[in-house]
Amino acid sequence: MLAQYDLSALKNEMRREELSGRPATMWRYHELLPVRTPQSVQSLGEGMTPLLPAPRLAPKGLKQTAQVFVKDEGQNPTGSFKARGMSAAVSRAFELGVRGVITPTAGNAGAAMSAYAARAGLPAYVTAPEDAPQACIKQAHLYGAEVELLAGLISDAGRLATERAIQRGLFNVATLREPYRVEGKKTMGLELAEQLGWRLPTAIIYPAGGGTGVVGMWKAFSELYSLGWLTESPLPRMIVVQAEGCAPLVQAWNQGSTEATPWPSDQATTQAAGLRVPSAIGDRLILQAIRESAGTALSVSDEEMKQMVHYAAQQEGMLISLEAAATLAAYHRLLANNSLSADDEVVLFFTGSGLADLGLPG
Ligand SMILES: *Cc1c(COP(=O)(O)O)cnc(C)c1O
C-alpha cells in the first residue's frame, strides 16, 4: 500500500521555487504528505537536516578531492531519521481519530513514535526485543509509552504488536503495515534533490533494515520527475549496506533474486540494532530500486562499523551510530574495489546519532 497524489494537478498549481520561503522542516513538502489539515500535523522540527560535505571521510590519500557528502539524520528529534516516518504516521493517525498508537521496534522507531504520540496527546505502546539499546527504551519510557520487552527479535516484537493492537484497539504503525511512515521517509529524497539545486548525486549509500528509507526515496524521485521538478538529472545508484550477521537483502541481491528469504532468526547477530531485521518487508521494492538504478548491495562486519565510528568522529567531528558507520565502511570498500571513484558524488545517509550507542559494550 503506497499513497498516491494527484501529481498532474499539483504540477499545474505549484512551482518548486515556492518552497524556498517555507519552514525548514519536512512539512515544507506538505502537498506531498498524507495529512489534510494543518492542525493535525505533529511536528518537533524534523527534517531539513544538513547535507554536509565531508571529504575527510574518504580513505587517507583520497581526502583532498573526494566528492562525499553526509545527510546528517542524527540531527532529527529523537536522534534518528525515524522521526520523519513517525511524524507523518502519528499526524495522520491523529487526523483519523485513532485511540492510540503501537509499534514494534529495534530501538529508534519506538523512541520516535513515543515522542510524537506525546506531542499529539495519544497513548503509545512499544514492543521490543529485550536487547534493544537501553537509550531508546529509556526514551520511550520518558515520553510516557508503555513498553513491553520480550526474548526474541524485531520479528517477534512485530507479532506481539499485532496481537496487542487488536486487544487494545491501537493503530499499528509497524514498518509498511500502514502507508504513512514511508511518506515521511520519502522526504529524505525530496530534501536531497532540493539541497543539491534540483539534481541528484551519483550514488546514495543507505543502511537497510526494513529498507523503507530506500523505498521512500525511490518514490520521492519518481514523484519529482512527474512534477517536472527534476528534469535532466539521472537517477542515483542506490547502494544498500547491511550487517554481515544479518544480510537478507545482500544475499538476495547476490543470488539475483527478486525477493529476499528471511535470515534465520537464531543467526541474526549484529550490534547495529537497526540492521537486526531478519526479513525486510519491502524486499521486492528495494531490490527493484537497486536493479533499476544499477546499484548494489553489500554487507560489512560489526568490527568495520566500529572502526568507522571512530574514523567519522576523528576525521570530521561526527558522532554516528553503527548503522550510519556501515555506510562509511561500504564507501571505503567500494572505492577499494573500484566500484566507486573519488570523483563520484556520493551521499552517505548517517541515519542515527551515536548517542544511542554510547551504552553498548565495546
Ligand atoms: C531503523 C534504522 C535503520 C534501518 O532503516 P530502514 O529504513 O528501516 O531500513 C538504519 N539506521 C538507523 C539508525 C535506524 O534506526
Q: Are residues 275 and 135 in the same domain?
A: no
Report the alpha-carbon distance of residue 192 to residue 81 in Å, rounded: 14
**Does residue 210's CB lie within 6 angstroms of at least one atom of ligand 1?**
yes
At 53, phi and psi to the nearest 5? -65, 135
What is the greatest pairwise CA distance in the chain? 58
101-104 and 171-172 beta bridge pairing: parallel
Residues 148 and 230 reside in one and the same domain: no
pLDDT at site 362: 60
Contacts of 137 (CB under 8 A, 6+ apart): 107, 110, 126, 128, 147, 149
Q: Is the CB of 133 under 6 A from ligand 1?
A: no
On whether both 86 and 203 belong to a single domain, the answer is: no
If one residue of 70, 80, 238, 263 were mutated to test the ligand 1 pocket, choosing by the most ligand atoms within 8 A of its CB, it would be 80
In a domain, 11, yes or no: no
Instruction: Verify whether ligand 1 is closer than 6 Å to residue 279 (CB atom).
Output: no
Adjacent-strand bridge partners of 204: 238, 347
Do both 96 and 238 map to the same domain?
no
For every residue of 110-123, DSSP letters joined together read HHHHHHHHHHHT--
Please work out, in degrees rounded to the nearest 5, the angle formed at the alpha carbon of residue 85 by the alpha carbons of 51 and 325.
45
Sign of CA dihedral 300, 301, 307, 309: positive
Domain boundary among 150, 172, 194: 172
Which atom of ligand 1 is found nearest the CA of 212? 7
Q: Is 193 in the pocket of ligand 1 (CB under 6 A)?
A: no
Considering the domain architecture, whether residues 303 and 222 belong to the same structural domain is answered as yes
Q: How far apart are CA 238 and CA 57, in angstroms?
A: 19
Cβ of 110 below 6 Å from ligand 1: no
Upper half-sphere CA count for residue 219 (Cβ side, 13 Å): 27
Residue 241 · residue 207 · CB < 8 Å: yes
138 and 191 co-located in one domain = no
Question: Which residue CA neighbors atom 1 of ligand 1 most closely?
Answer: 274
Q: Report if residue 126 sits inside a domain.
A: yes
DSSP 120-150: HT--EEEEEETTS-HHHHHHHHHTT-EEEEE
Per-position pLDDT tens, the chain of length 362:
899 999 999 999 999 999 999 999 999 999 999 999 999 999 999 999 999 999 999 999 886 788 999 999 999 999 999 999 999 999 999 999 999 999 999 889 999 999 999 999 999 999 999 988 888 899 999 999 999 999 988 889 999 999 999 999 999 999 878 999 999 999 999 999 999 999 999 999 999 998 889 999 999 999 999 999 998 778 999 999 999 999 999 999 999 999 999 999 888 899 999 999 888 888 999 999 999 999 999 999 999 999 999 999 999 999 999 999 999 999 999 999 999 999 999 999 999 999 988 877 66
Distance of CA 14 from the midpoint of ligand 1 (Å): 32
149 and 234 both lie in a single domain: no
Domain membership of residue 42 (yes or no) is: no
Range of the domain at 90: 82-172
Residue 274 exposure: Cα atoms within 13 Å on the Cβ side: 32
Q: Does ligand 1 have an atom closer than 6 angstroms to the CB of 186? A: no
pLDDT at 126: 98
What separation in Å is there between the alpha carbon of 34 and the centre of ligand 1?
Answer: 21
| Residue 351 in domain | yes
Name the one residue in this structure whose C-alpha cell is 527534517: 47
Contact between 189 and 216 under an 8 Å Cβ cutoff? The reply is: yes
The pLDDT value given to residue 1:
81
- Cα(106) to centroid of ligand 1, in Å? 9
> 136 C-alpha to center of ligand 1: Å?
13
183 lines ligand 1 (CB under 6 A): no
> Quick check: CB of 82 below 6 Å from ligand 1?
yes
Ligand 1 centroid to Cα of residue 10, in Å, is: 31
Residue 209 Cβ inside 6 Å of ligand 1? The answer reads yes
* Total structural domains within the chain: 2
Q: Given this model, what pLDDT does residue 63 score?
A: 63
Claim to verify: residue 287 and residue 199 sit in the same structural domain: yes
Q: Is the CB of 327 under 6 A from ligand 1?
A: no
**What is the Cα 84 distance to its own chain's centre?**
8
Closest CA to 157 of 138, 184, 137: 137
Query: Does residue 194 lie within any of the structural domains?
Result: yes
Cβ(213) to ligand 1 under 6 A?
A: yes
Residues in CB range of 232: below 8 A, 6 or more apart = 199
CA distance 21 to 149: 44
Gap between the Cα atoms of 62 and 331, Å rounded: 12
Rounded Cα–Cα distance for residues 315 and 210 (Å): 30
- Shared-domain flag, residues 165 and 204: no
pLDDT of residue 3: 95
What integer pLDDT is reported at residue 265 of this predicted model? 81
**Sheet strand arrangement including 346-350:** 51-53, 68-72, 346-350, 203-207, 237-243, 296-300
CATH of the domain at 227: 3.40.50.1100
